[in-house]
Structure 1
Amino acid sequence: MTAIASNAALLIIDMQNGINHPRLGPRNNPEAELRMAELLAAWRQSRRPVVHVRHISRDPQSVFWPGQPGCEFQQAFTPQGSEALFEKHVPDAFCNSGLEHWLHQRAIAQLLIVGVITNNSVESTARSAGNLGFDTVVVADACYTFDQRDRQGRLWPAQDVHALALSNLAMDYARVLDSAEVLAMR
């Protein structure tokens, strides 16, 4: 396995208060926040780059509508002064955000992606990262999603949605690892 680079960036996606809104429904990975917090602590201790991504919705009904408590970061994932913050209006953290430029300026070639929603912002961002040539790792147990209905009305459990999204990413875009594997490689 490839080691984790000394300047690998931990990219934390959309860990805002709104993601806990009950209307989003049942989710998987109930310990995902603990895994994210362990990785964040390790990155801070080693002084590796930490990048926080905040979704600023254009939809007034969104849990991430600006100016509302749901748009603010969860306390455990509030950026510290030395950590980068990028805002996005679409699922992909690279789209019109300046993230790619920021990473290239710092010669960061490896990204570890955690956060929410596995099959939305995490998947979209990881696909772009892979397409842009970054060595991309998605940390499976540090991401989660929600139950989802397909176009025919069938309800898919969050764990199945999560597994399929990670399988899609593992085909061409990213390595998919668990947090214990990542921490053992650093």
Structure 2
Amino acid sequence: MTRNALIVVDIQNDYFSGGKWILNEVDSAADNAARIIAAARNNGDIVIHIRHETPAVDAPFFVPGSEGAQLHAKAKNIPGELVIVKHYMNPYRETELLRVLQDKGVETVTVVGNMSHMCIDAVTRSSDDFGFKTTVIHDACATHDLEFNGVVVPSAQVHAAFMAALRFGYATVVSADEFLA
């Protein structure tokens, strides 16, 4: 039984061109995520896909039943891979994720997906809090520009700040090439 799991977070159509909430560099990040997914499958690791749905009737994106809420083709699950639907930023909150990982004896998790400053941050911190040795593949994650008090923070800086914080105390943070080497 494998003790490694790959958590693929919110690589969904609404984040890509034509979607409702497009992220910067999302295609490149998804390409790297696809490489990590392929390696996990080849290694016999557990691959778990997380798919966000926003249950509010006026949801800005990830509307239940919409094409935008579906997993993107670059990171789609294959038969036998679990897809967990979540309604909060943290994939552990009110889902079966923790139970599944514990039941399967997982000790290490690798994280890829979207958005760096929200769900990737939440799942990484929680994974560490739950005792999993955690790795984030930084170039297999994407985000967008943020704004605070009239200051626009470019996505590259948002991403770098969150990866630096995660690396400081919660996870090993490496590139796809480093991870696959």
TM-score range, shorter chain: over 0.9
**Is the Cα–Cα contact under 8 Å of residues 119 and 165 in structure 1 kept in the other structure?**
yes
1:170 matched to which residue of 2? Answer: 167
Cα distance in 1 between the residues matched to 2:120 and 2:77: 19
Deviation at 1:24, TM superposition (A): 3.3
Cα distance in 1 between the residues matched to 2:62 and 2:20: 13
**Is the Cα–Cα contact under 8 Å of residues 10 and 40 in structure 1 kept in the other structure?**
yes
Structure 1 residue aligned with 2:115, among 102, 114, 117?
117
Q: Which runs of 5+ in 1 are unaligned?
A: 1-5
Residue identity matched to 2:116: T
TM-score calculated relative to the size of structure 1: 0.90
**Is the Cα–Cα contact under 8 Å of residues 9 and 112 in structure 1 kept in the other structure?**
yes
**Is the Cα–Cα contact under 8 Å of residues 15 and 23 in structure 2 kept in the other structure?**
no
Name the SS of the counterpart of 1:115 in structure 2. strand
C-alpha distance 153-53 of structure 1, shift in aligned 2 (>3 A): same
1:7 aligned onto 2:3: yes
**Is the Cα–Cα contact under 8 Å of residues 28 and 159 in structure 1 kept in the other structure?**
no
Name the SS of the counterpart of 1:24 in structure 2. coil
2:40 matched to which residue of 1? Answer: 43
1:65 matched to which residue of 2? Answer: 63
Aligned alpha-carbon RMSD (Å): 1.5
Structure 2 residue aligned with 1:102, among 100, 103, 120?
100
1:133 aligned onto 2:131: yes
1:55 aligned onto 2:52: yes
Post-superposition CA distance 1:98-123 (Å, at most 9, x none): 11111011110101000000000100
2:29 matched to which residue of 1? Answer: 32
Post-superposition CA distance 1:133-156 (Å, at most 9, x none): 110111001001001101x11001
**Is the Cα–Cα contact under 8 Å of residues 27 and 146 in structure 1 kept in the other structure?**
yes
TM-score calculated relative to the size of structure 2: 0.92
Post-superposition CA distance 1:34-57 (Å, at most 9, x none): 111111111112221100000011
Q: How many residues align?
A: 178
Deviation at 1:29, TM superposition (A): 6.0
Deviation at 1:25, TM superposition (A): 5.3
Mapping 1:73-92, distance limit 5 Å: 73-92=71-90
Name the SS of the counterpart of 1:11 in structure 2. strand
**Is the Cα–Cα contact under 8 Å of residues 28 and 158 in structure 1 kept in the other structure?**
no
1:3 matched to which residue of 2? Answer: none
C-alpha distance 15-39 of structure 1, shift in aligned 2 (>3 A): same
**Is the Cα–Cα contact under 8 Å of residues 29 and 141 in structure 1 kept in the other structure?**
no
Structure 1 residue aligned with 2:12, among 16, 20, 43?
16
Deviates more, 1:141-150 or 1:39-48: 39-48
Q: Which runs of 5+ in 2 are unaligned?
A: none
Deviation at 1:26, TM superposition (A): 5.7
Post-superposition CA distance 1:146-184 (Å, at most 9, x none): 01101x110010000000011111122111111111112
**Is the Cα–Cα contact under 8 Å of residues 29 and 144 in structure 1 kept in the other structure?**
yes
Identical residues among aligned pairs (%) = 27
